[in-house]
Every structure is written in C-alpha cells, then in structure tokens.
Amino acid sequence: MIVRPHPSPISLLFILRGSIIRAIVAELVVVFLAAACVTGVYHLRPMWFSGISLAPFTLLGLALSIFLGFRNNACYQRWWEARQQWGQLIAETRSFMRDLGALLPGQEERRQRLGRRAVAFAHALRCQLRGEPLEAAQPWLPAQDWAALAALRGKPGEILNIQSREIAGALRDGAMTDILYRLFSERLAVMGNIQAACERLQSTPTPFAYTLLLHRTAWLFCLLAPIGIASTLGWMTPFATVVLAYAFFGLDALGQELQEPFERTANAVPLDALARIIEISVLEALGETEIPKPLQPQDFVLL
C-alpha cells in the first residue's frame, strides 16, 4: 500500500512510485508507433481517409469505458474485501485475547501458548497467501506444534485445530464451562472463515475470459482509433492516441494489480504491516514489555 501525505496538485503529475505508468509503458510505445504509421500513411495518401470519421471508433471506445468501469469495480471490491478480512482478523484476535485474559486469569502458561499461537496463525496465513515459506510462524509456536505442522498441507487450519484442542482441554479440566467453550469455538470459526475467504480471493481471479475480452478490445480500439483521428488532428494523432491509451490501458493494468490483493506489490494489501499490528495487540494483551514498533512505509510503500 502506498502511504503518503496528499501531494500537491503539481507534484501529483510527476510521481512515479505507485503510478501504473511503468506497467504499461511498452503498450504505450507500441500504440504510439502504430499511430505514427497511420499518420504517415495519412500524409502520403490523404484521399484514403476522406470521409472517415471518428464516430464508429467512438462507439467502441464508449463500450470499452463502460466495460472497464464494470471490471474495475469488481477488482476494487476484491481488494477491499481482502483488506476487510484482515481488519476482521485483527479484531477477532483482540477479542480472543480479551476473553482469554478475562476467563483464564490463573493459567498464565496456557494463555501465553494460546496467544502466541494466534500470532502464528496470522503469520502462517500471510505467508501462504504470498506463496512464501512459513518460517515466520515458527518462533511463535511450541516446538511440537511446529513439528506437527510439517507433514500437513493445511497449515493455518491445523494451527486453529491445535488451538481448539487446547481450549477443549481447559473444558475437560473444568477450567471453563461449555458456554465459554462455545464462545472460543466461534472465534476460531470466524478465523477459519477469514482464512477461507482469503484463499478464495487468492485462488479465484476474475474470469480469465473477461481479461481477454477487455484486453483485446482495448488493443483493437487503440490500434484502430488513429484511423479516425488522423484526418482531424493530423500530426497530433499519435499524441492524442497515447493519451487515450494511457487512460484505458492504465485502468486495465490497475484492475489487474488490484485483483491480486495479496501479492508483494506497491498497490496490494500490506499483510506484513497488518501481521505486525496483530503481534503488538497480542503482546500487549499478554503483558509483555518489549513490544515491536508498527512497520513504517519504506519509500512511501507499506508491504
């Protein structure tokens, strides 16, 4: 995520970081060259272009705008849902710690284990979503838990299973009633729902056929538009075409980036920073005194 004070209007025009322009510069060059060719032909054979107007291309451009608007909305919703799920995970972990603190007052060790394992869950989920090894979860887990995870595919889910067995142990010890067991069981179920929702967002992009259809329509438009523009704008045609291509390809590329909200990119959800917030919340609830600091943006980017 890019974090910066709202820049002045003029500096806004020259910011590169976070700009989508680097992702589409190749497309813009191709479009420019193609438009330059069309303009060249127009100057050699202007009569070929007599009577050609922009109207048919306008129609294509407008249809494209509407479809891009629709797809961007879908991509933005995915990105925002990803952020919501992680916000919910922060809230659930805090509620989990709150009830642990209130209901297991004499059982410091058990609380420590349960709390630290909640942090491990957040790290394991984060690493799985980013396709990274799960080592970040290891320092937060007892050794036998970490060993038990090794053989399993569904590592974050297994951490929840261990949590559940530990709490059920308290139920059998008589340290907790079944009413209170249910309270914790529902917190763990919500964490499981968050995990499933994140896996859904990660594994199911918007239908590939949309990407294809929009991308191809955008190319068709940008390559054909100069034919309609040349007779109107003459040598300015390539520049005008690039401006249009910037808007269309830019929105297309931005949607592409937003629809993968868990990647380690500048516009994605900052999982590292959110996992750190969970660490801080848990350690403060456990009464630790050495609390790490929240992650700070590097070069305006929070990962």
Closer residue to its own copies (CB): 68 or 134: 68
Nearer to its own copies, 136 or 168 (CB): 168
User: Cα separations (Å) of 48 from 37, 41, 51?
Assistant: 14, 9, 9
Of 246, 204, 201, the residue nearest 221 (C-alpha): 246
Q: Is 209 in the site for its own copies (CB under 8 A)?
A: yes
From the CB of 115, what's the least distance to its own copies, in Å? 12
* DSSP-assigned letter for residue 193: H
Check binding of 47 to its own copies (CB under 8 A): no
Task: Give the separation between CA 294 and CA 298, rounded to whole angstroms.
Answer: 12
Ranges within 218-277 binding its own copies (CB under 8 A)? 219-220, 224-225, 228-229, 231-234, 240, 243-244, 246-248, 250-251, 254, 256-258, 266-267, 269
Point out which span in 98-106, 107-115, 126-134, 136-144 binds its own copies (CB under 8 A). Answer: 98-106
- Distance, in Å, from the CA atom of 214 to the CA atom of 240, rounded to the nearest integer, reads 21
Give me the residues paired with residue 298 across strands.
301
Q: Is 286 in the site for its own copies (CB under 8 A)?
A: no
Whether residue 263 contacts residue 130, with contact meaning beta carbons closer than 8 Å, is answered with: yes
Among positions 118, 119, 129, 285, the unique one binding its own copies when judged by CB under 8 A:
285
DSSP-assigned states of every residue in 215-251: HHHHHHHHHHHHHHHHHHHGGGHHHHHHHHHHHHHHH
The CA distance from 116 to 141, in Å, is 7
CB of 207 to its own copies, least distance (A): 5
Residue 193 contacts its own copies per CB under 8 A: yes
Q: According to the binding rule CB under 8 A, does residue 46 interact with its own copies? A: no
Rounded-to-integer distance, Cα 303 and Cα 276, Å: 11
124 interacts with its own copies by CB under 8 A: no
Taking the complex as a whole, how short is the minimal distance between the CB of residue 100 and its own copies, in angstroms? 10
Stretch of 31-39, 82-90, 127-135, 139-147 contacting its own copies, by CB under 8 A: 82-90
Identify which of 303, 209, 244, 250 has the alpha carbon closest to the alpha carbon of residue 72: 250
Binding to its own copies (CB under 8 A): which residues in 12-41?
A: 12-13, 15, 18-20, 26-27
The rounded distance, in Å, linking the Cα atoms of 169 and 163 is: 10
**Single-letter amino acid code for the residue at 282:** V
CB of 300 to its own copies, least distance (A): 8
CB of 26 to its own copies, least distance (A): 7
Is 182 a binding residue for its own copies by CB under 8 A? The answer is yes
d(CA 267, CA 260): 9
Single out the residue of 36, 40, 41, 74 in contact with its own copies (rule: CB under 8 A).
Answer: 74
- C-alpha angle 182-188-194 in degrees, rounded to nearest 5: 140
Question: How near is the Cβ of 301 to its own copies at its closest, in Å?
Answer: 10
Binding range to its own copies, per CB under 8 A, among 116-124, 125-133, 138-146, 152-160 = 152-160
CA-derived radius of gyration, the chain = 27
Region near its own copies per CB under 8 A, out of 35-43, 114-122, 128-136, 199-207:
199-207
Query: Residue 2 pairs with which residues in a beta bridge?
Result: 301
Under rule CB under 8 A, residue 115 binds its own copies:
no
